[in-house]
């Protein structure tokens, strides 16, 4: 019922009020045009600056500037594989050598298409090599992957010294593009290539690929559970990174016109990696800054009469500082800017809370108009009698000698909320892992909408419409709320749909960065994102953990409305029996891996066996 203290508003007025309360900062920025126009505008300014520099810089500085640009492109690539996807790759200049080698070969062959086509082919070749090098990344992580990539760099270095670059023995100089043959104009050409690479990376980072890189860096399980292939996320990151390395190498080949192996050594790859980590190369401006450091530090040392190789020591010290402080330059600078943005986000969140109160009243009104009790006060109703969405028969899981699940059978009715409860260690999370494909070695059968799930990976099950959330935080903090929702939804969703589901769950606005919200709110956003995916079944593993009591109550009220509003079923795992009682129409109780009771909520909670299992917690029943 509408609360007595609530202002007297009709439903439409409340809806308008809720919409009006929705913060929509710079809506044009979220439009397709706005999302494209701004980066293109910045790119145009970059091109203009590059052109002015190309006519203003003196000869030697032009050479240094091209070196900075080639390094910036290679670092951009490292920003993808290391900064975004979280994998250690210590062979970026080996990919550059592949690009330079292909350009040299095509130059010697006088292949059609000219330098621009050779450069692109060099990038493609390096990208393919990147996929091969990335294959071990599917199994290896951390230091093991570092060893593999460094080993590859060392092997390639030895090979390159032996075979040399095509044409280098005969002194066949690489032919630059006709319009950019002078050093000055070649610098402007390199700026054009850098701009194209930066724009590509920018739009890729915003795309599904970019989100998958950030997701896989945070949690592989979380990534697979939303239907994203972990393998393709890792391999695309390696391929894009290596392709950028290849383009950087091809560009360098055009700069020096006779490339040598000494420009692509493993130690230089290592130094470049450190620069990428230190600067925060997943941010495009910081990758460009890293490219500048790459030439400025040795140049300064030279001017001060110090051997340039000490530059590696300087990079090493900067890298150690970045790794021990746990942050990087780009992050540090942005943190200052984000402080203000976070304040605005906090204000928006309190507005969201007010909106959610309005929505509650709105839902109550709708319920009253339909002749039923208001949802905030109504007891759980029986599900609609249709075919069950999930059927589990005789499910069994053993860990060594422990039978975590034994002969578990249950059905989840369509468009319902079923509670799965039981004491600690009863087997609830094991059940979710088995159903969602993370424990494939189970016995028994599981069908979703009549489709047997045996042998299907978590990713396939998610794509079939079975989604789950986790007890632990699996929401990648480097995404914005909107990017995360779009990634998890795995379908084309409008901004209005995103705002609606965020409103419904009382989540922060779409532009909020996930790193700036607390874990409890992140889990709420995880629920909202999975609801937006419109699965047939969503399994929520203790979604209220980290929320306050009031937020528990709010969440319960919203979850009750989900099946009718979004046409899906929910399995709710929860220790808070108040929440379970409010939300679930049916219940299944697990104890020591077996089903103790299953059926209508009231009957199950009154079952003496259930009460006995909850001894010590009986007052809660
Ligand atoms: N990977 C594992 N290896 C060995 N034993 C495990 C493993 N995972 C779970 N178990 C055991 O299986 C049993 C069921 O655990 P599970 O986590 O499914 O219980 P739960 O009902 O989810 O508990 P909680 O409410 O505390 O989350 C427990 O005895 C647990 O110790």
For the stretch 180-217, pLDDT in tens is 999 999 999 999 999 999 999 999 999 999 999 999 99
Residue 381 lies in a domain: no
Taking CA atoms, 598 is separated from 422, 538, 571, 573, 595, in Å, by 12, 19, 13, 14, 7
Vertex 124: Cα angle to 122 and 126 (nearest 5): 70
In a domain, 317, yes or no: no
Q: Is the pLDDT of residue 12 over 50?
A: no
Local confidence band at 8 (pLDDT 50, 70, 90 cut-offs)? very low
The residue whose CA has the least distance to atom 31 of ligand 1 is 425
Across the range 371-399, mean pLDDT stands at 68
DSSP string, 315-376: HHHHHHHHHHHT--HHHHHHHHHHHHHHHHHHHHHHHHHHHHHHHHHHHHHHHHHTTS--TT
- Beta-sheet pairing, 569-573 with 417-421: parallel
Q: Which tokens belong to 166?
A: 């095509």
Could you give the CA distance from residue 580 to residue 419 in angstroms, rounded to a whole number?
6
Cα-to-centroid distance, 541 and ligand 1 (Å): 13
pLDDT in tens, 334-367: 777 777 766 766 666 666 666 656 665 565 555 5
Number of Cβ within a 10 Å radius of residue 567: 11
| Summary mean pLDDT of the chain | 86
- Helix, strand, or coil (residue 174): coil
350, two tokens: 């309190």
How many whole angstroms from 470 Cα to the centroid of ligand 1? 14
Q: Is 426 in the pocket of ligand 1 (CB under 6 A)?
A: yes
The pLDDT value given to residue 476? 94
Which atom of ligand 1 is the closest one to the Cα of 433? 18
pLDDT of the residue at 305 = 85
Chain-centre distance of CA 503, in angstroms?
22
Residue 490: CB atoms within 10 A of its CB come to 18
Q: Is residue 369 part of a domain?
A: no
CA of 425 to the centre of ligand 1 (A): 5
pLDDT tens, position by position, 133-175? 999 878 887 788 888 899 999 999 999 999 999 998 888 999 9
- CATH code (residue 579): 3.40.50.300
Given a cut of 90, is residue 370 above it in pLDDT?
Answer: no
Model confidence at 453: pLDDT above 50: yes
Beta-carbon count within 10 A of 609 CB: 12
In terms of residue numbers, what domain contains 441? 390-465+535-620
Q: What CA–CA distance (Å, rounded) separates 520 from 346?
A: 15
Tell how far the Cα of 367 is from the centroid of ligand 1, in angstroms: 40
pLDDT at residue 449 is higher than 80:
yes
Which of 427, 433, 576 has most ligand 1 atoms within 8 Å of its beta carbon, as the pocket-test mutant? 427
Is 326 domain-assigned?
Answer: no
pLDDT single digits (tens) 605-616? 888 888 887 755
* Domain end (from 201, 236, 266): 266
Which pLDDT score is estimated for 18? 40
- pLDDT category at 59 given cuts 50, 70, 90 is confident
The string of pLDDT tens digits covering residues 219-263 is: 999 999 999 999 999 999 999 999 999 999 999 999 999 999 999
Residue nearest to atom 4 of ligand 1 (CA): 399
13 in any annotated domain: no
User: Of all protein residues, whose CA lies closest to atom 7 belonging to ligand 1?
Assistant: 399
Q: Does 47 map to a domain?
A: no
Q: Which phi and psi (to 5°) does residue 586 adopt?
A: -125, 160
Does any ligand 1 atom lie closer than 6 A to the CB of residue 404? yes
Residue 560 CA to residue 195 CA, distance in Å, equals: 50
Alpha carbon distance, N-terminus to C-terminus of the chain = 26
Q: Would you say the CB of residue 399 lies under 6 angstroms from ligand 1? A: yes
Q: Are residues 117 and 259 in the same domain?
A: yes
Closest Cα to atom 24 of ligand 1: 424
DSSP secondary structure of 522-568 = HHHHHHHHHHHT--SEEEEESTTTT--HHHHHHHHHHHHHHHHHHT-
Q: Bigger pLDDT: 302 or 584?
A: 584
* Tens of pLDDT, residues 520-554: 899 999 999 999 999 999 999 999 887 887 888 88
Last residue of a domain, one of 266, 292, 317: 266
Residue 214 domain-assigned (yes or no): yes
Pocket test residue of 428, 435, 542, 588 for ligand 1, highest count of atoms within 8 A of CB: 428
Residue 140 belongs to a domain: yes
pTM for this predicted structure = 0.83
* Number of compact structural domains in the chain: 2
With vertex at residue 105, the alpha carbon angle to CA 102 and CA 109, rounded to the nearest 5 degrees, is 135
pLDDT > 90: percent of the chain: 61
Is the model's pLDDT at 561 over the cut of 90? yes
Q: Give the domain-ending residue among 233, 266, 299.
A: 266
pLDDT for 64: 94
φ/ψ of 597, rounded to 5, equals -160, 150
Residues 260 and 394 in one domain: no
Order of strands, edge to edge, in the sheet holding 417-421? 466-468, 537-541, 569-573, 417-421, 586-591, 594-600
CA of 598 to the centre of ligand 1 (A): 21
What pLDDT score was predicted for residue 487? Answer: 96
Tell me the per-residue pLDDT of 319-334, one tens digit each, with 9 for 90 and over: 787 777 777 777 778 7
């Amino acid at each position: 019922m509408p609360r007595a203290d609530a202002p007297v508003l009709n439903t439409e007025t409340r809806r308008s009020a809720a919409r009006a309360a929705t913060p929509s900062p710079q809506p044009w920025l979220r439009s397709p045009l706005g999302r494209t126009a701004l980066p293109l505008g910045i790119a145009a300014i970059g091109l203009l600056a590059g052109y002015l520099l190309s006519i203003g810089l003196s000869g030697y500085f032009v050479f240094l500037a091209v070196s900075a640009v080639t390094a910036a492109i290679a670092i951009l690539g490292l920003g993808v594989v290391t900064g975004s996807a979280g994998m250690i790759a210590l062979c970026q200049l080996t990919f550059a050598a592949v690009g330079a080698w292909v350009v040299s070969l095509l130059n010697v062959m006088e292949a059609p298409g000219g330098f621009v086509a050779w450069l692109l082919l060099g990038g493609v070749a390096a990208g393919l090599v990147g996929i091969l090098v990335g294959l071990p990344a599917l199994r290896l992580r951390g230091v093991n992957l570092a060893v593999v990539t460094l080993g590859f760099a060392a092997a390639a270095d030895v090979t390159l010294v032996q075979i040399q670059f095509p044409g280098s023995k005969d002194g066949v100089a690489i032919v630059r593009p006709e319009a950019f043959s002078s050093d000055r104009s070649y610098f402007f050409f390199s700026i054009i290539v850098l701009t194209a690479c930066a724009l590509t990376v920018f739009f890729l980072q915003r795309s599904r690929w970019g989100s998958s890189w950030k997701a896989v860096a945070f949690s592989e399980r979380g990534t697979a559970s939303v239907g994203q292939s972990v393998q393709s996320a890792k391999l695309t990151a390696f391929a894009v990174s290596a392709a950028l390395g290849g383009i950087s190498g091809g560009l360098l080949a055009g700069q020096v016109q006779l490339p040598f192996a000494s420009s692509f050594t493993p130690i230089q790859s290592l130094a470049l990696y450190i620069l990428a980590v230190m600067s925060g190369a997943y941010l495009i401006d910081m990758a460009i800054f890293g490219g500048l450091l790459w030439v400025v530090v040795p140049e300064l040392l030279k001017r001060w009469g110090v051997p340039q190789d000490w530059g590696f020591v300087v990079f090493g010290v900067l890298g150690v500082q970045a790794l021990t402080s746990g942050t990087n330059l780009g992050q540090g600078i942005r943190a200052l800017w984000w402080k203000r943005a976070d304040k605005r986000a906090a204000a928006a969140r309190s507005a969201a809370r007010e909106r959610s109160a309005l929505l509650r009243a709105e839902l109550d009104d709708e319920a009253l108009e339909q002749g039923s009790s208001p949802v905030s006060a109504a007891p759980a109703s029986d599900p609609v009698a249709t075919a069950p969405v999930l059927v589990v028969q005789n499910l069994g899981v053993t860990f060594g000698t422990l039978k975590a699940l034994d002969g578990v059978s249950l059905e989840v009715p369509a468009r319902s909320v079923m509670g799965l409860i039981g004491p600690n260690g009863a087997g609830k999370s094991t059940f979710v892992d088995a159903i969602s494909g993370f424990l494939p070695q189970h016995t028994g059968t599981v069908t979703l909408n009549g489709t047997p799930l045996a042998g299907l990976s978590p990713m396939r099950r998610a794509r079939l419409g079975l989604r789950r959330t986790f007890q632990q935080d699996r929401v990648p903090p480097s995404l914005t709320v909107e990017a995360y929702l779009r990634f998890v939804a795995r379908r084309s969703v409008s901004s209005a749909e995103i705002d609606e589901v965020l409103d419904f769950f009382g989540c922060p606005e779409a532009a909020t960065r996930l790193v700036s919200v607390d874990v409890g709110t992140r889990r709420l956003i995880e629920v909202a994102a999975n609801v937006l995916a419109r699965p047939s079944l969503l399994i929520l593993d203790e979604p209220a953990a980290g929320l306050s009591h009031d937020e528990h109550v709010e969440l319960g009220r919203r979850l009750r409305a989900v099946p009718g509003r979004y046409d899906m079923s929910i399995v709710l795992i929860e220790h808070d029996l108040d929440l379970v009682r409010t939300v679930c129409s049916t219940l299944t109780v697990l104890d020591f891996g077996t089903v103790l009771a299953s059926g209508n909520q009231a009957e199950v909670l009154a079952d003496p066996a259930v009460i006995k299992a909850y001894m010590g917690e009986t007052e809660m029943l």
